[in-house]
Structure 1
Amino acid sequence: MTTLINNKKLVVLLVFLLCAGCFHEEASTPSPHLMTSLTQKRDNGFSVVAGEKIGIQDQVQPIHVKPTKAISFVDELHGYGVASSARDLQFLKSSDGGLTWRALSRLPQTIMLSAISFVNPQTGWLLTSESSDEKSELRLTLDGGQTWEVIAQDLPGLESRGVEPFFRFFDRHQGLIAFQSGKDMVLLRTQDGGLTWSASSRISMPIEEKSVFTFRSVIEGWFIGPSKKDKEVSILYHMTDGETWQETGRLPSFFAPQALSFTDSQNGFILMHTNPQSSEKTWQFLRTFNGGKTWSQHEFPSTFQPLAASLHLSFPTATSGWLLDARDLWRTTDGGLNWSLLTP
């Protein structure tokens, strides 16, 4: 009798343990719909959070010669730029992070500079045009800018545009030229160091208005433009296949983006002003360290007033960056939280 009762208890205990295991397994495994929803929310998340205010410091050491047309830094110390004078264009080099510059070579004043790109301290390209007929020319240097050789002329699509293109070489062989043409963007690519270029089919743009954009490879780029429905809202787009722009997120209202730079796939920076109608613009700086999913917003002091007609933003690393306008040159060594004015 006692044995029978014990056996019954054992059976009941086994059933209970088995059922408890079933309950535990069912509770610990979310439904497929829930897992998909959580994944999509994480992948598609986009946010802008408030960050600390930016500091500006004046540089006590004056610069006698400085770039005025374009800059290209390859690391924390080595940078290159072009300055214009009454007689010619001067190609400049800095070996101390932009504190001092020296002229290495000169080009005739009749040559119009479009852009400059360096991949290391020795190898760089100048994209220029003749002011008389607007024919494009591409120059290459292999000795750090002391001598230049014309390696390509009359690049397709660059005739008589009058618009400054995006121009960058990503290594010794791969380069890209991009510019807006109405509702389309034209991409010129090279795989042989600039000797030959192929023009892509016209890529449809999200908007027709001229906006800011950048590329970090021959197929991956970023673009900011006003929303089709609300012109006071800026939309950030991302391209990963060299053919289509995908909407990534909406930036806060009343932003007028002026410059955009991505160091790599994760680190990016946006410079903008928030009061386009006022002569005293309030400048803002956005930073991302996760590929554009989250941005921190930082406000410049009121004394920061660059000439917005032509801005060049160069970030060779996630911490070292330079900003050039027609008047001044700034430098940051902490990813944009503090900037030093390098020009008197």
Structure 2
Amino acid sequence: MVSAGLCGAALAASTSAPAHAERGDRPTARSTLRWQVTDTGSTVRFRGLAAVSRGTAWAAGSKGTVLRTVDGGRGWKNVSPPGAGELEFRDIEAFGPRRAVALAIGEGEASRVFRTEDGGATWTESFRNTDPRAFYDCLTFFDRQHGLAVSDPVDGKYRILATDDGGRSWNVLPPEGMPAAQQGEAAFAASGQCLVSSGPRDVWLATGGAATARVLHSRDRGRTWSAAESTIPAGDPARGVFAVAFRDRRHGIAVGGDYRPEQASPRAAATSRDAGRTWTQSERPPTAYRSGVSRLPRPRTAAIAVGPTGSDLTLDSGRTWRTFDTGSYDTVDCTPDSACWASGEKGRIARLHR
């Protein structure tokens, strides 16, 4: 269990590359909550992360890189798809130590989906985008078979890609159930958490870049959607909701802000108690832009948010946040057995130490 006493922790973590556990773990205050940086042997940026358990995690990043650990981060194996060196992986979903589905982002054919069933020894490219107007951002799965990916708007609406065979094949869903996008609106491929699911049918899409930052919700695996305004500021291509996390189909947290380091993000978090129909500004949000968020399984009211300037903990479902780490991370993912992992720039992948 995470206790309230953990909130005051802070960590000054190194961002030197490659990442090493023996460097970058210097506590600035006495604490029991900190990121333990692992030795990945890599220098790329990992914005895609799939935490399976205390022992197993996958990370996907730039230069077509995919890493996997099965020993709690003591050793990472490069299991990148052959010939993918020019691709930008931004999301990955994993179902154990052997099976994973990874999303590469970009315009036109740069957006692709790969899957493996043997721990990354071999990969199959199961989708390649052929529409130059599409740009896929995020990926999510409801279970081992049913999943979705989202593209920025095409012809004025977000495009949804669906699979019902574990990512072996994909099809574009009809656009009739998707509300119109705002002018300039898009999803952010910053942490693999702009599209998230909870339970067998509910899924949420986080947006920004337009007049208002919105969260779209579907109760039928992406066939029909409703849109709600969040309290996180938008009105600029660099602002909006970057990530959402739901502990069940009703209770959600949204984080974001302005990703430009010289710009303040005073309202970087919001909460919902009605499946995303309405959003309430956090009373004490993170002090800066946050790109990733994940719920902790215990206590159910706890969550962690991460960004380039630090990591924050909430113990009251997102109403108030306290910074416990000052290292740079792009995304975070927690597992049912209470393990949390984070990843980011310069090869940094860390596991939460409590």
Q: Do the structures match in fold with TM over 0.5?
A: yes
Match of 1:81 among 55, 59, 66: 59
* 2:245 paired residue number: 261
Aligned-pair Cα RMSD in Å: 4.3
Distance of aligned partners of 1:62 and 1:275 in 2 relative to their CA distance in 1, 3 Å threshold: closer
**SS in structure 2 of the partner of residue 314 of structure 1:** strand
Instruction: Check if 1:68 corresponds to 2:50.
Output: no
Q: Do the aligned residues in 2 keep the contact of 1:117 with 1:124 (CA within 8 Å)?
A: yes
Q: Do the aligned residues in 2 keep the contact of 1:225 with 1:235 (CA within 8 Å)?
A: yes
TM-score of the pair, normalised by structure 2:
0.58
Instruction: Check if 1:238 corresponds to 2:217.
Output: yes
Q: Do the aligned residues in 1 keep the contact of 2:67 with 2:79 (CA within 8 Å)?
A: yes
**SS in structure 2 of the partner of residue 216 of structure 1:** strand
Instruction: Check if 1:123 corresponds to 2:99.
Output: yes
Residues 158-192 of structure 1: per-residue CA shift (max 9 Å, x gap)? 53357342113333321211122153111111112
Match of 2:10 among 56, 72, 86: 56
Give, as a single letter, the amino acid of the residue that structure 2 aligns with 1:175.
Answer: G
* 2:231 paired residue number: 251
**SS in structure 2 of the partner of residue 210 of structure 1:** coil
Alignment partners' CA distance in 1, 2:148 and 2:105: 17
Give the deviation of 1:304 after TM superposition: 5.0
Instruction: Check if 1:139 corresponds to 2:114.
Output: yes
Instruction: Check if 1:216 corresponds to 2:211.
Output: no
**SS in structure 2 of the partner of residue 108 of structure 1:** coil
- Percent of pairs with identical residues: 17
**SS in structure 1 of the partner of residue 87 of structure 2:** strand
- Structure with the largest fraction of helix: 1
Alignment partners' CA distance in 2, 1:164 and 1:54: 38
Alignment partners' CA distance in 1, 2:215 and 2:100: 30
Distance of aligned partners of 1:141 and 1:295 in 2 relative to their CA distance in 1, 3 Å threshold: same
Residues 266-306 of structure 1: per-residue CA shift (max 9 Å, x gap)? 66443334796835767956677986686423143794555
In structure 1, stretches of 5+ residues that fail to align are: 1-51, 335-344
* 1:176 paired residue number: 148
Give, as a single letter, the amino acid of the residue that structure 1 aligns with 2:226.
Answer: W
Alignment partners' CA distance in 1, 2:140 and 2:206: 19
Q: Do the aligned residues in 1 keep the contact of 2:232 with 2:256 (CA within 8 Å)?
A: no
* 2:158 paired residue number: 185
Radius of gyration: which is bigger? Answer: 1
* 1:198 paired residue number: 171
Instruction: Check if 1:270 corresponds to 2:248.
Output: no
Alignment partners' CA distance in 2, 1:148 and 1:207: 37
Count of paired positions: 269
Q: Do the aligned residues in 2 keep the contact of 1:110 with 1:130 (CA within 8 Å)?
A: no
Give the deviation of 1:80 after TM superposition: 1.0
Give the deviation of 1:216 after TM superposition: 0.7
Q: Do the aligned residues in 1 keep the contact of 2:243 with 2:256 (CA within 8 Å)?
A: yes
Give, as a single letter, the amino acid of the residue that structure 2 aligns with 1:117.
Answer: E
**SS in structure 2 of the partner of residue 172 of structure 1:** coil
Q: Do the aligned residues in 1 keep the contact of 2:241 with 2:256 (CA within 8 Å)?
A: yes
* 2:309 paired residue number: none
Alignment partners' CA distance in 2, 1:176 and 1:251: 26
Residues 11-55 of structure 1: per-residue CA shift (max 9 Å, x gap)? xxxxxxxxxxxxxxxxxxxxxxxxxxxxxxxxxxxxxxxxx9563
Alignment partners' CA distance in 2, 1:302 and 1:194: 36
* 2:343 paired residue number: 324
Alignment partners' CA distance in 1, 2:244 and 2:103: 20
Give, as a single letter, the amino acid of the residue that structure 2 aligns with 1:121.
Answer: P
